[in-house]
Structure 1
């Protein structure tokens, strides 16, 4: 192997090793943050599973959704009407996460007098990373890379009593899958899991977890694999996650 190829090989090997090592370096206690008048504050924990310190920064970002649930990043100068930014405060926003340690970030809902019942949403961007320096045997070359995996977690703030309904429609069985539509109405989002369940045993055949339909979205399409089961023996069920402000259940026979 000539010297140039050897150097390229060493560089690629280092990059692959670093990204493999740090892709799972950061762990989090939740992938959604929820606040309302009964739950005005919550703790969110970030873990460093690696052996090097992580420099972390948290900030709010915003995304918009269309009627069918398509997500796009919002880049406008004025905040979105449903932004949660003025409704929440959190700290710390910037910190060093030492190896094999964790950091608790506290989120608190701001109190506002005479506020109307509504749902607000932003995204907490969790940006953590380290700088790795590696030298070759001659110690004449240095490689500096900063692998990062940015997580964007929705933060939902609800003021007052809000309602939503959900139903399942457009069921179609094709190529070993069941295709269907979740339909949402009301003034709040829904968040939960959809499962394909065997009627006789109650066993879960397949599922999609942590699905969200936000207030801009009236419907969204999904599919699940039948796992070679007879469709007549199965039922579709969507169950809202009670920990995030909902108790809806929607069912549909295939």
Structure 2
């Protein structure tokens, strides 16, 4: 799933009380791939009698890392995926789950190649209204220690430097479902355009019901799966999501098919669809 976030730009000063005459501080930020962190779950679902979930964080880097954990509110938009809401911003279409979910620990140190288990626990109020609640759980490495280099510089104006190495973090949705859940969907406005060795497909997934959608999109021809895109969601704050996906052109062609079947299939853990088809349509092969 294509994800888009908007983070706060407020930062506290990195260095206080450091007197440097005719010098500037140079900050070098190096971002690593999010695969530096791996998780054993892609989403957490509290539904039915489930009250706890154990998430394992795996440090894929070659160094010990310290991670902080927390919740944030993210809103799905019709065409751009997810955006993070700033602190204090409210959206009446969103029902947050963070007040009902506790977790421990809140800060972990994991050796290189090691792992750490985090337990999430549901504490649901007795009078909570029926519906689907969602918050996004984040795991973020702390910045490495600043390294101060007092060595003289070729250019006196450049002065000493501070180097901070930043590592990418990850998020995953945490759901709390209360009461009867039901959702249906349709696929509309499916279009395809050939662009070199791929076919660009756009379509609208329309959602109706009191819970979110989550599944994989399959492109098939005569029952043969040509391409699959995993993890396409439509959350409860929107009734329609426009999705844009790319299908590689098969080396042996499309086997005489003039159209591809587009199938939106639920995951096997889905209590309602149990791995079955949520919605489907056809799109002409250009």
Query: In which range does the TM-score fall when normalised by the shorter chain?
Result: 0.7 to 0.9
CA contact (8 A) 1:235 1:252 kept: yes
SS in structure 1 at match of 2:125 = coil
> Counterparts of 1:89-128 in structure 2 under 5 Å?
89-128=102-141
1:253 aligned residue: 282
Deviations for 1:226-250, whole angstroms, at most 9, x for unmatched residues?
6253553531111112335552512
Residue equivalent to 2:4? none
Task: Tell me how far apart the structure 1 counterparts of residues 152 and 269 of structure 2 sit (CA, whole Å).
Answer: 54
Equivalent position to 1:60, from 56, 71, 75: 71
The structural deviation recorded for 1:111 is 3.0
Deviation at 1:190, TM superposition (A): 0.6
Q: Return 5+ residue gaps in structure 1 as ranges.
A: 1-10
Normalising by the residue count of structure 1, what TM-score does the alignment of the two structures yield?
Answer: 0.79
Match of 1:77 in 2: 88
Contact 1:26/1:46, CA 8 A, preserved across alignment: yes
User: Does 1:167 pair with 2:194?
Assistant: no
- Match for residue 186 of structure 1 among 189, 201, 209: 209
Q: C-alpha displacement at 1:40, in angstroms?
A: 2.2
Q: Alpha carbons of 1:53 and 1:142: their partners in 2 closer, same or farther (altered >3 Å)?
A: farther
2:206/2:241 contact within 8 Å kept: yes
Distance in structure 1 (CA, Å) of the matches to 2:69 and 2:189: 40
Kindly state the Cα deviation for residue 107 of structure 1 after the two structures are TM-superposed: 1.0
User: Structure 1 residues 100, 67: CA separation in 2 closer, same or farther (over 3 Å shift)?
Assistant: closer
2:167 paired residue number:
148
Map of 2:13 onto structure 1: none
Is residue 2:254 matched to residue 1:220?
no
Query: Which of 29, 39, 46 is the equivalent residue of 1:28?
Result: 39
* C-alpha RMSD of matched pairs (Å): 3.0
Secondary structure, in 3 states, of the residue corresponding to 1:86? helix
Q: Supply the distance in 1 between the matched residues of 2:200 and 2:70 (Cα, whole angstroms).
A: 39
CA-CA distance at 1:73 after TM superposition: 2.1
More helix by share: 1
Report deviation, 1:156. Answer: 1.2
The size of the alignment, in residue pairs, is: 237
Q: CA–CA distance in 2 between the matches of 1:97 and 1:148?
A: 14
**Gapped regions of structure 2 (runs ≥ 5):** 1-25, 154-159
Deviates more, 1:36-45 or 1:241-250: 241-250
